[in-house]
């Protein structure tokens, strides 16, 4: 082997050594047909296959990064699917039971649950929520229809003309407003002081029931037909059933006219006085 061929072979060996190839072997020829001569002597070792650009390798061959074979991930046994739970039906606050608290529910907790209420369309026209006012442990609870303009402005129930008449009636039975609790069927003012509509009452009345349950009064006085229908479920005319006592939960309920009705019909003030006298007698009884 001449010097030029030896240098070329040495360059090739160094090139393959850089690629990590250090061993060469000669594969035995395989007879594939009669055309192949068996006496042709040993076959020449196959020349290494190289890229066309490597026919004339440089003195310092460039390192070639061999492409690795893609690794096929082994299948992993997946965990059995969790049992599918049936969808929980969506309940409004009023279809669901009252929140569980440690001990009896308080008015403060009910007010917190009410929050910045947007449960019915009355929320769009109100200024303030009129939750209720008075003694949280009162023996007597008054339930009206809904806030008026003055109540919406101040956030307190019965502070307008009807409220002043109610205060006089309370004083007539030797009680103070601070001794009783006053609230309404709905907590937001209906537009134009109209009667609350069915869907509005359905959304708001559960808070009223919770208020009464938290106070545990001896007597609930329903002022006007909407309060009577909501609390007692009675649809008869208020003048037919007023002045009567009814069973309500663990207490009694009495129906009478709304003070606003008396303001429109001053001669009917005697109805309020008669019914408030029955309230006095009831509370003085055992």
Q: Which residues 6+ apart lie within 8 Å of 9 measured at CB?
A: 1
The pLDDT of residue 28 is 58
CA separation for the pair 91, 115 (Å, rounded): 17
Q: Is 254 helix (H, G, I), strand (E, B) or coil?
A: strand
* Segment 206-247, tens digit of pLDDT: 999 999 999 999 999 999 999 999 999 999 999 899 999 999
The pLDDT of residue 30 is 52
Write down all domains in the chain, each with its CATH number in brackets.
120-284 (3.40.470.10)
The pLDDT of residue 25 is 56
Residue 38 in tokens:
């068996």
In order along the chain (286 residues), what is the average pLDDT of each group of 10 residues?
Answer: 73 66 58 46 50 46 44 42 37 42 85 97 97 98 98 98 98 97 98 96 98 98 97 93 95 97 96 97 88
Residue 156 in tokens:
């307190």
Interhelix angle 107-114/198-215, rounded to 10 degrees, is 160
Quick one: how many helices (H) and strands (E) in the chain?
9, 6
The pLDDT of residue 186 is 98
Q: Are 251 and 209 in contact (CB under 8 A)?
A: no
- Residue from 70, 71, 61, 72 nearest 20 by CA: 61
Output the CA angle 223-224-226, nearest 5 degrees: 115
């Amino acid at each position: 082997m001449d010097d030029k061929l030896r240098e070329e072979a040495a360059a090739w060996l160094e090139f393959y050594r850089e690629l990590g190839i250090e061993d060469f072997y000669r594969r035995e020829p395989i007879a594939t047909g009669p055309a192949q001569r068996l006496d042709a002597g040993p076959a020449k070792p196959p020349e290494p296959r190289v890229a066309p650009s490597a026919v004339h390798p440089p003195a310092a061959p460039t390192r070639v990064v061999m492409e690795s074979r893609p690794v096929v991930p082994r299948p992993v046994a997946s965990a059995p699917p969790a049992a599918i739970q049936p969808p929980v039906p969506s309940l409004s606050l009023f279809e669901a039971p009252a929140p569980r608290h440690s001990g009896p529910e308080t008015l403060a907790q009910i007010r917190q649950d009410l929050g910045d209420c947007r449960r019915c369309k009355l929320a769009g026209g109100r200024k303030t929520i009129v939750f209720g006012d008075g003694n949280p442990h009162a023996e007597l609870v008054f339930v009206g229809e809904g806030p008026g303009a003055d109540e919406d402005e101040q956030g307190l129930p019965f502070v307008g003309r009807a409220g002043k008449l109610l205060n006089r009636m309370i004083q007539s039975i030797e009680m103070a407003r601070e001794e009783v609790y006053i609230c309404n069927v709905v907590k937001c003012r209906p537009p134009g002081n109209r009667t609350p509509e069915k869907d509005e009452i359905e959304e708001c009345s559960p808070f009223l029931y919770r208020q009464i349950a938290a106070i545990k009064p001896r007597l609930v006085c329903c002022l006007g037909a909407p309060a009577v229908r909501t609390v007692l479920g009675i649809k008869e005319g208020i003048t037919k059933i007023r002045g009567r006592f009814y069973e309500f939960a663990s207490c009694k309920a009495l129906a009478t006219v709304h003070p606003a009705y008396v303001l429109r019909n001053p001669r009917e003030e005697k109805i309020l006085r008669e019914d408030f006298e029955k309230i006095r007698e009831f509370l003085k009884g055992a």
